[in-house]
């Protein structure tokens, strides 16, 4: 009887440990779904349908006249703020418009035309968490729209890039850093990565961060 109780106790402890490890490890499918769904939400959700005291209809930006078209999607409005040089407003707008959509353990970055729109002032662990993230995925789209219907002033199309990763997981050490890979892609210098830091670095940038894939696909 005592042996059976001990064996059962060991079995239960083992199950708990295994279950905990699965819960704590970020799954690629989870990040993939979140990345795709978030960009889809931001591309389809209109201002008029936002229930937010800052970003929605009748909210602070609406009352200030900084948002004038309720038919704009979140991405379109962010693009309008970008092209008119209101990056600080775009940052807070995106933060409010996506509130409660992103689980606490995830972080995301939004770029329009290669310029980071959100977050404007990253957390202290923003870059470090991205560099050591086990899974970092990128989703792309386009934004364009009308700035002024009276003058028919339009903007875009601009490329939209959304990066999503799980923060706080330091179990995986990457061979590359996101910052170096992104700079190389932005400056069209991916080929130099194989010279310094060394051969194969560009391919790892693609495998680990989905960057420089046009130069060195992850195979």
Residue 58 shares a structural domain with residue 141: yes
| Spans in the chain with pLDDT lower than 70 | 1-31, 168-176
Q: Are residues 108 and 209 in the same domain?
A: no
pLDDT at 138: 84
Question: Which range marks the domain in which residue 139 is found?
Answer: 26-170
- Predicted pLDDT of residue 5: 47
Q: Are both 120 and 38 inside the same structural domain?
A: yes
pLDDT of 66 reads: 94
CB atoms closer than 10 angstroms to residue 139:
19
In a domain, residue 3? The reply is no
Amino acid 21: pLDDT: 35
Structure confidence at residue 158 (pLDDT): 93
Q: What is the DSSP string of the chain?
A: -HHHHHHHHHHHHHHHHHHHHHHHSPPHHHHHHHHHHHHHHHHH-BGGG---TTTSTTSHHHHTTS---TT-BHHHHHHHHHHTT-HHHHHHHHHHHTTTTS-TTEEEEEEETTEEEE-SS--TTHHHHHHT-S-EEEEEEEEEEEEETTTTEEEEEEEEEEEEEE-S--S---SS-HHHHHHHHHTT-GGGGGTTT-TTHHHHHHHHHS-STTTS---
Q: Do 152 and 119 share a structural domain?
A: yes
Residues 96 and 74 in one domain: yes
- Say whether both 89 and 196 belong to one domain: no
What is the domain count for the chain? 2
The CA distances from residue 141 to 38, 112, 144, 161, 208, in Å, are 12, 10, 10, 7, 21
139 and 187 belong to one structural domain? no
Q: Do 112 and 182 belong to one domain?
A: no
In a domain, 16, yes or no: no
Instruction: State the pTM of this model.
Output: 0.63
Q: What is the pLDDT of residues 76-100, one digit of tens each?
A: 999 999 999 999 999 999 999 998 7
pLDDT of residue 47: 94
pLDDT value, residue 96: 94
């Amino acid at each position: 009887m005592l042996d059976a109780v001990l064996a059962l106790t060991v079995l239960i402890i083992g199950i708990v440990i295994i279950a905990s490890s699965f819960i704590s490890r970020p799954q690629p499918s989870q990040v993939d779904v979140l990345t795709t769904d978030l960009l889809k939400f931001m591309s389809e959700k209109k201002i008029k349908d936002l229930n937010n005291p800052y970003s929605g209809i009748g909210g602070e930006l609406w009352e200030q006249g900084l948002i004038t078209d309720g038919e704009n999607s979140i991405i379109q409005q962010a693009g309008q703020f970008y092209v008119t040089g209101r990056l600080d407003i775009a940052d807070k707008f995106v933060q409010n418009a996506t509130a409660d959509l992103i689980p606490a353990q995830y972080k995301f970055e939004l770029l329009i035309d290669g310029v980071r729109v959100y977050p404007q002032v990253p957390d202290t662990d923003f870059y470090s968490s991205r560099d050591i993230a086990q899974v970092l995925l990128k989703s792309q789209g386009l934004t364009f729209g009308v700035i002024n219907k009276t003058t028919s002033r339009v903007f875009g199309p601009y490329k939209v890039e959304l990066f999503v990763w799980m923060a706080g997981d330091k179990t995986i050490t990457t061979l590359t850093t996101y910052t170096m890979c992104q700079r190389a892609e932005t400056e069209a210098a991916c080929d130099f990565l194989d010279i310094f830091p060394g051969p194969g670095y560009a391919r790892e940038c693609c495998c680990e961060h989905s960057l420089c894939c046009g130069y060195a696909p992850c195979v």
